[in-house]
């Protein structure tokens, strides 16, 4: 199962950034545990702070990969372009968030991509990504 994990702005700072909200682990360390835990999955990881680069990556993989797990960070709440990109590709996507966006500022309660995703997982810490993987694996059964 060819799977892209794609992270948006500021998620490169995980482990350093607002640790009380996002935890102390870097995404790279977490990613290593995922690779070890799910040997049957062919993972790719991509992170960018630039909206257009995230859209380009979705276009690049979105007609050949089996699964996309996307945490678009703040662009979740602002980017019609990323929402449209997910609508325009064929690969199914799950939107994930580390924090519970509904327990935070009101501007984080809106997602401009959720309706184009098969589902949303929010507030489970880095485990949100793991739960998305488990869901894709379940769909394959
Ligand atoms: C986030 C939540 C967003 O509101 C925020 O802008 C982020 C991270 C999360 O994973 O909890 O950068 O997507």
Answer whether CATH 3.40.50.10420 is correct for domain 2-140.
no
Model pLDDT for residues 44-85, shown as the tens digit of each residue: 999 999 999 999 999 999 999 999 999 999 999 999 999 999
Residue 140 confidence class, pLDDT cut points 50, 70, 90: confident
Nearest to 122 by CA among 140, 106, 104, 138: 104
Looking at ligand 1, which residue's alpha carbon is closest to its atom 1?
Answer: 73
Query: Would you say residue 141 has pLDDT above 90?
Result: no
| Distance (Å) from CA 99 to ligand 1 centroid | 7
Look-up of token digits 């990881």: 45
Angstrom CA distances, 13 to 41, 44, 47, 94, 112, stand at: 25, 19, 11, 22, 23
Residue 23 confidence class, pLDDT cut points 50, 70, 90: confident
Helix, strand, coil percent content, the chain, rounded in steps of 5: 45, 20, 35
Nearest to 83 by CA among 44, 120, 46: 120
| Distance (Å) from CA 141 to ligand 1 centroid | 31
Spans of all domains in the chain: 2-140
Residue to mutate (ligand 1; options 51, 99, 120; most atoms within 8 A of CB)? 99
């Amino acid at each position: 199962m060819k799977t892209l994990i794609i992270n948006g702005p500021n998620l490169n700072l995980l482990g350093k950034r607002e640790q009380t909200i996002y935890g102390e682990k870097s995404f790279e360390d977490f990613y290593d545990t995922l690779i070890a835990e799910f040997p049957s999955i062919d993972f790719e990881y991509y992170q960018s702070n630039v909206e257009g680069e995230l859209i380009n990556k979705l276009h690049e993989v979105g007609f050949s990969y089996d699964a996309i797990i996307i945490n678009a960070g703040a662009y979740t709440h602002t980017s019609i372009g990323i929402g449209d990109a997910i609508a325009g590709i064929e690969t199914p996507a799950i939107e994930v968030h580390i924090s519970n966006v509904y327990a935070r500022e009101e501007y984080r309660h809106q997602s401009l991509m959720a309706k184009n995703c098969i589902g949303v997982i929010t507030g489970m810490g880095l485990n949100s990504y793991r739960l998305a993987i488990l869901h894709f694996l379940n769909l394959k059964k």
